Structure 1
Amino acid sequence: MIRLLLKVLGPEHAPPVRRTVALMTTTAIAEGLSYALLVPVLRALFGSEPGDVWLPLAGFGAAVAIYAVLRYVSDLSGFRAGTTLLRAMYHRLGDHLARLPIGWYSADRVGQLSVLASNGVLQAMGVIAHLLAPFISACVTPLTIVAVMLAFNWQLGLAALAAAPVVAAIQVWTGRAMAVHDAERAERRHEAAGRVIEYLQAQPVLRAGGRTTERFRLLDDSLTELQRASRRTVLSALPGVVALALAVQAVFTVLLVLGAYLALGGHIGVPEVLTILVLAARSADPLLSLSDISGKLRGARAELVRLDAVLHTPPLPEPPDPVEPDRHDLEFDSVVFRHGDHTVIDDVSVSVPEGRRLAVVGPSGAGKSTLLQLLARFYDVDAGAVRVGGVDVRAVASEVLMSRIAFVFQAVHLFDGTIEENVRLGRAGATDAEVRAAVTAARLDEVIDRLPGGWAAHVGEGGALLSGGERQRVSIARALLKDAPVVLLDEVTSALDPVNEAAVHAGIERLMAGRTVVMVAHRLRTVRRADHIVFLDNGRVTEQGTHEELLRHGGRYADYWHLSMTPAAD
Structure 2
Amino acid sequence: MTMPAPAHPTGADTPPPAGFYAGTVRTIWRLFEPYRRAFATALLMRVLMSLSAAVPVVMLVWVVELLRTGELTGQRALVAVAVVIGGVAGQYCFSYASNRLVWTSTFYAVGAARIRTLDHVQRLPLGTVHERGVGDVSATLTADMEAVSTYAHHGLPQYFSALSMPAFVFAGLLVIDAPMAVAVAVSVVVAVPLVRWISRHFGRHAFTRGNLMATANSRIVEYVRGIAVIRAFDRTGARVNWFRDAVDDLRRINDRMAVKLVPAALATMGVVQLGIPLTIAALGYWYTGGRLDAGTMLIFLVLVLRVYTPILEVAGSAEQSRLADAALRRIGAVHDLQPQPEPRTPAAGVSRPSIQLDDVTFGYTPDEPVIRDLTIEVAPKTMTALVGPSGAGKSTVLALISRFWDVDSGAVRLGGVDVRDLTAEQLFDAVTVVFQDVYLFQGTIRDNIAFGRNSATDEAVEAAARQAQAHEFITALPQGYDTPVGEGGATLSGGERQRISIARAILKDAPIVLLDEVTAALDPINERAVQRAFAELVRDRTLVVVAHRLSTIRSADQIVVLDEGRAVERGRHEELLAAGGRYADLWTERERATQWRLQTATATPGPTAGTSDRSSPTR
| Structure 1 length-normalised TM | 0.91
Is the CA contact (8 Å cut-off) linking 1:8 and 1:311 kept in structure 2? no
2:197 corresponds to 1:166: no
Conserved? CA contact 1:337–1:382, under 8 Å: yes
Q: Match of 2:109, SS? A: helix
* Cα gap change, 1:202 to 1:97, in 2 (>3 Å): closer
In structure 2, the residue matched to 1:461 is 487
Tell me which amino acid in the other structure corresponds to 2:556: A
> SS at 1:106's partner residue?
helix
> In the alignment, is the contact (CA less than 8 A) between 2:64 and 2:295 conserved in 1?
yes
8 Å CA contact 2:385–2:546 kept in 1: the answer is yes
After superposition, where does 1:212-231 map in structure 2 within 5 Å? 217-231=241-255
1:371 and 1:15 map into 2 onto residues whose CA distance is 49
Residue 309 of structure 2 is matched in structure 1 by: 285
State the distance in 1 between where 2:112 and 2:234 align: 49
8 Å contact kept, 1:244–1:288: no
Correspondence for 1:493: 519
The CA deviation string for residues 49-80 of structure 1, in whole angstroms up to 9 with x for no partner, is 69664431221121122122222222222222
3-state DSSP of counterpart to 1:322: coil
- Change in Cα spacing, 1:555 to 1:328, as seen in structure 2 (3 Å) is same
The farther-off stretch of 415-424 and 436-445 is: 436-445
Check 1:14–1:41 CA distance in 2 against 1; reply closer, same or farther (3 A cut).
Answer: same
Q: Give the aligned partner of residue 423 of structure 1.
A: 449
Partner of 1:78: 102
Match of 2:62 in 1: 40
Closer, same or farther in 2 for the Cα pair 1:45/1:57, shift >3 Å? Answer: farther
CA, structure 1 residues 126+389, in 2 after alignment: closer, same or farther (shift >3 Å)? same
- Residue 89 of structure 1, CA deviation: 1.1
Aligned-residue offset at 1:148: 2.2
C-alpha contact 1:479 1:511 (8 A) present in aligned 2: no
Q: Aligned-pair distance for 1:216?
A: 5.3
Q: Taking structure 1 as reference, are residues 312 and 373 closer, same or farther at Cα in structure 2, changes over 3 Å only?
A: same
Over 3 Å counting, the alpha-carbon distance change for 1:498 and 1:456 in structure 2 is same
Q: Give the SS at the match of 2:324.
A: helix
Number of the residue aligned with 1:374: 400
Q: Cα–Cα, structure 1 residues 2 and 217, in superposed 2: closer, same or farther, change >3 Å? A: closer
1:407 corresponds in structure 2 to: 433
Name the residue aligned to 2:10. none
Residue 392 in structure 1 maps to residue 418 in structure 2: yes
- Residue 28 of structure 1: CA displacement? 3.7
Shift of 1:490: 0.5
Partner of 2:543: 517
Q: Does 1:147 align with 2:171?
A: yes
* Partner of residue 268, structure 2: 244
How far 1:195 moved relative to its partner? 4.7
How much does 1:127 deviate?
Answer: 3.1
Question: Separation in 1 of the partners of 2:225 and 2:431?
Answer: 34
CA distance in 1, matches of 2:281, 2:493: 79
Instruction: Provide the rounded CA distance (Å) in 2 between the counterparts of 1:209 and 1:389.
Output: 48
Given the superposition, is the C-alpha separation of residues 192 and 321 from structure 1 closer, same or farther in structure 2, using an over 3 Å criterion? closer
Q: State the secondary structure of the residue aligned to 2:385.
A: strand
Equivalent of 1:435 in 456, 461, 474: 461
- 8 A Cα contact 2:360 2:408, kept in partner: yes
The 1:202–1:312 alpha-carbon spacing in structure 2 relative to 1, beyond 3 Å, is closer
The count of corresponding residues between Structure 1 and Structure 2 is 569
Displacement after TM superposition at 1:263 (Å):
4.8
Q: Secondary structure at the residue paired with 1:343?
A: coil
Report the CA distance shift for 1:66/1:348 in structure 2 as closer, same or farther (over 3 A).
same
> Is it true that 1:325 corresponds to 2:350 in the alignment?
yes
Which residue pairs with 1:337 in the alignment? 362
**Alignment CA distance shift 1:30-1:194 (3 Å):** same
Alpha carbons of 1:563 and 1:451: their partners in 2 closer, same or farther (altered >3 Å)? same
Return the alpha-carbon distance in structure 2 between the equivalents of residues 209 and 465 of structure 1.
22
Equivalent in the alignment of 1:564 = 590
In the alignment, the residues of structure 2 paired with residue 486 and residue 17 of structure 1 have an alpha-carbon distance, to the nearest angstrom, of 48
Report the alpha carbon displacement of residue 332 of structure 1 after superposing the two structures with TM. 0.9
The 1:251–1:70 alpha-carbon spacing in structure 2 relative to 1, beyond 3 Å, is same
Is this contact kept in 2: 1:245–1:288, CA < 8 A? yes
- Pick closer, same or farther for the CA change 1:265–1:19 going to 2, 3 Å: same
Farther-moved stretch of structure 1 (523-532 vs 79-88): 79-88
Change (3 A) 1:101 1:443: same
CA distance in 2 between partners of 1:60 and 1:488 (Å): 75
State the Cα deviation string for residues 257-305 of structure 1 (Å, max 9, x = none).
3334455566555454334323332333322222342211211111211
> Structure 2 CA distance, aligned partners of 1:215 and 1:536?
36
Q: Do the aligned partners of residues 224 and 331 (structure 1) sit closer, same or farther apart at CA in structure 2, a change above 3 Å counting?
A: closer
- Report 1:338-377 matches (<5 A): 338-341=363-366, 342-377=368-403
Q: Summarize the Cα distance change of 1:306–1:449 in structure 2 as closer, same or farther, 3 Å threshold.
A: same
Task: Letter of the 1:301 partner, please give it.
Answer: D
Q: Is this contact kept in 2: 1:38–1:60, CA < 8 A? A: no
1:20, distance to aligned residue in structure 2 (A) = 4.2
Establish whether residue 89 from structure 1 lines up as the match of residue 113 from structure 2.
yes
Superposition CA RMSD, Å: 2.8
Q: Given that residues 63 and 77 in structure 2 are in contact (C-alpha distance below 8 angstroms), is that contact kept between their aligned partners in structure 1?
A: yes
* Cα deviation, residue 408, structure 1: 0.7
- Name structure 2 gaps, 5 residues minimum: 1-23, 599-619
Question: Unaligned regions of 5+ residues in structure 1, if any?
Answer: none
Aligned equivalents of 1:569, 1:367: Cα separation in 2: 28
Say if 2:45 and 2:98, in contact at 8 Å, map to a contact too: yes
Do residues 4 (structure 1) and 27 (structure 2) align? yes
What SS class does the counterpart of residue 133 from structure 2 fall into? helix
CA distances 1:148-198 after superposition (whole Å, capped 9, x unpaired):
222333343222222332232221021123234334433443444445456
Structure 1 CA distance for aligned equivalents of residues 281 and 247 of structure 2: 51
Q: 2:155 corresponds to which residue?
A: 131
Indicate the residue corresponding to 1:294 in structure 2.
Answer: 318
Distance of aligned partners of 1:214 and 1:448 in 2 relative to their CA distance in 1, 3 Å threshold: closer
Q: Are residues 57 and 560 of structure 1, via their aligned partners in 2, closer, same or farther at CA, if it must alter by over 3 Å?
A: same
Percentage identity across paired residues of the two chains: 37
1:46 is displaced (CA, Å) by 8.5
1:529 paired residue number: 555
Letter in 1 for 2:494: G
State how far apart, in whole Å, the 2-side matches of 1:201 and 1:193 are.
12
SS in 1 for 2:398: helix
Contact 2:136 2:218 in 1 (8 A): no
Task: Return closer, same or farther for 1:65/1:264 CA change in 2, 3 Å cut-off.
Answer: farther
Query: 2: CA distance between counterparts of 1:293 and 1:15?
Result: 25
| SS state at 1:314 partner | coil
> 2:329 aligned with 1:305, yes or no?
yes
> Could you give the per-residue CA deviations for residues 382-418 of structure 1, whole angstroms, max 9, x where no partner exists?
1111111111111112101101112111111111112
